Structures are given as C-alpha cells and as structure tokens.
Structure 1
C-alpha cells in the first residue's frame, strides 16, 4: 500500500488548508478578492483562487468529468463547456447590473457537483456539459460583476480564465490519476465539497 502514501500526504495538506479557510468567517460571505487596478491580470489570476466557492466548484467539475463513465475525449467536453459558459457569464456580469440568484446558484453548484462526485450517479452524456455550463454562467456573472472600476477588463478576464483552466485541468488530472487507484478519495472530496456547500447554504438562510 506504499503507493497510497503520496495521496495520504496530499490529503492531509488539503484538509489542513480547508480547515484554515473554514475557520475564517470571511469565506461564508463571498470572499474578499485582491482588487488592484494597476495589475488586473494578477487580480484575475487570483480571483478564482481566493474564492473558496469558485475554487472548489472548478476542482469538482474536473474531478467529476474524469471519474464519470465516459471516454477521456468525452470527459474533456465537460470542462470545455464550463470555460465557454464562464466567459459568457462574465460578459453578462460586466454588462448587466443586479442579476438575481447568483450566490444561491453558486452554492447549489457546490452541493450538486459534490453529491454527483460522491455518489457517482450515472448521467446521460449530454447532461454533464449542460449542467456544468449552467453553473458556469453564474460563476462567470460573479467574476464579471466584481471587475474593479477603471481596471482593464481584458487583462482581468484573461487572468481568471487562465486560473479556471488550471483548476479544471488539476481536477481532471487528479481524477484520472485516482480513478484506477484510489477512487474513494474522489468520493471523499465530493462529500467534503457538498458539505461546504451545505455550510454556505445554512449561513445564507
């Protein structure tokens, strides 16, 4: 069982980081992001990484795509759909003020993606891209709505799209790695993500 040692070490680090984030009351609201107009690329890069809700949702998308009963080519369609609709949502968030239900839908994405990942319920092949695309719209709206006034929209969008791609690929790669070795870790991750979504839901109620 020595091949599980790296995964156990990684899990401990993830758990410690999650505990530190959960210990902060700021994560229960939408976390305060770095907002500096002098470097909008950096602001965009950090935006998904400093928002626990965004970070967990994007990792969940990659993990779920990798562990679903589809080919690798079909699995790539799920994060691709997320990226495309995230961009569309961001454009809407920049153009339209006060789009309703943004936070509830982001919380719902954590609950549903976490439960799907934990339970591994079979879904039709078309359902994955449609479901994550719908959630991506609201994550994108949240990104777009938080564009700093006077900052470069192009640099900001480029930044958070690159970070999102990195998170999706991280989840996808981890899912493919664990699929044939320690699939229970992805189930555990899904349960944790759904649990975090439930905490946010309770706090918002």
Structure 2
C-alpha cells in the first residue's frame, strides 16, 4: 500500500514539475574548487551519487565498494566522449532517470546479481560523465576541475555508504529504504523537468 502511495506522489511531482534541465552548468568556469562544488550544489548529482553509495551498502560486499568504484571510472569514459564531441542523446533524461531508478532500487530492496547492478550504475555514469565532458572545454583548468569533481563524487558516495550501513538494523533498513523513496521522488521531479 505504501509503495502505491509513493508512486502517486512521484507521478504528481512529475506532472507539477516546471520545465528546466536536471543538469546545470551555471558553476562551470573555474578550476578545482568549481569542480569540487559542482556535484554538491547540483541536487541531481547529490541524489544519484548518494544513491550509488546507499545501494552498494544495501547490497553489501562486494557491491559496497564495487558500485562506487565503477561509477567514477565509467563517468570518466562518458566525460571523454563529451570532451571529444561525441553526441549522446537524452543526457538530461539519463541524469534524471539515474536518481529515479537508483532510488527505486533502494526503496524496493532490489537485489539483482552484482553484474546487473554494476551495469545499471555504469549506464547512468555515462550520462553524468558526458554532461561534464561537454562542459570541460569551457573550464579554466579542465584537469583541476575534473580532480575536484571526482573527489566530490567520491565523498557523496561515501556519505551514501555511511548512511547505508544502517541496514544492519531493522529500523536502519527502513530509514535507508525511506531515503531511497526520497531519491526516487526527486528523480521523478528531475525527470519531469528534463522532459
């Protein structure tokens, strides 16, 4: 019953969302500090990065460390594609969908095989990386910006893992699943804005 209510709230959020992009390039143009701040100031990134850590903690070892390692590695590939000017359709939709889907995985306590979880995280990482790769040529120092971005991404993953470790206790498991619900709702709103 609670899941159906959540889906209605998410659907309402999508219908009421205003037209905007899930990904904003407003803070691009600096070096390390700009890269460090970008993921933390963009709610679409916060939601997706925390969700990767949460889901990894929820799934347990080896997903606990594998998913947060796969994401930035594949994100770098997506960044290289964006930097090279390779067109990737639906980047904003992919970024928004990452929060929606990963949040839903946590909410529903989804436990797919590790290779499927890794593939799903990798697919979303391509979109996040591509968005930033297309912005890098405008940055004053692309290398410093990338370094700051990767560090911030790692810290967001760690915050998700830290909170996700609460799954060891029944009340903590409910809190983690509730966080997944909030991330999924945010993702639905981001998706409504990206469409």
| TM-score between the two structures when normalised by the length of structure 1 | 0.79
Q: Which runs of 5+ in 1 are unaligned?
A: 1-24
Count of aligned pairs between the two proteins: 177
Q: 1:97, CA displacement in angstroms? A: 5.2
Structure 2 equivalent of residue 59 of structure 1: 50
Note the aligned Cα RMSD (angstroms). 2.0
Shift of 1:93: 1.3
Match of 2:24 among 27, 31, 34: 31
CA–CA distance in 1 between the matches of 2:25 and 2:129?
Answer: 16
3-state DSSP of counterpart to 2:111: coil
The runs of at least 4 aligned residues of structure 1 exceeding 4 Å deviation read: 25-29
Query: Greater relative contact order: 1 or 2 (C-alpha under 8 angstroms, separation 6 or more)?
Result: 2
Deviations for 1:105-149, whole angstroms, at most 9, x for unmatched residues? 111111110100001022012111111011011101111112252
CA distance in 1 between counterparts of 2:131 and 2:178 reads: 27
How far has the Cα of 1:86 moved from its partner?
A: 1.0
SS of alignment partner, residue 182 of structure 1: helix
1:140 aligns with 2:129: yes
The gaps in structure 2 that reach 5 residues or longer are 1-17
Is residue 184 of structure 2 the alignment partner of residue 194 of structure 1? yes
Post-superposition offset of 1:189: 0.9
Matches within 5 A, 1:92-111: 92-96=81-85, 98-111=87-100
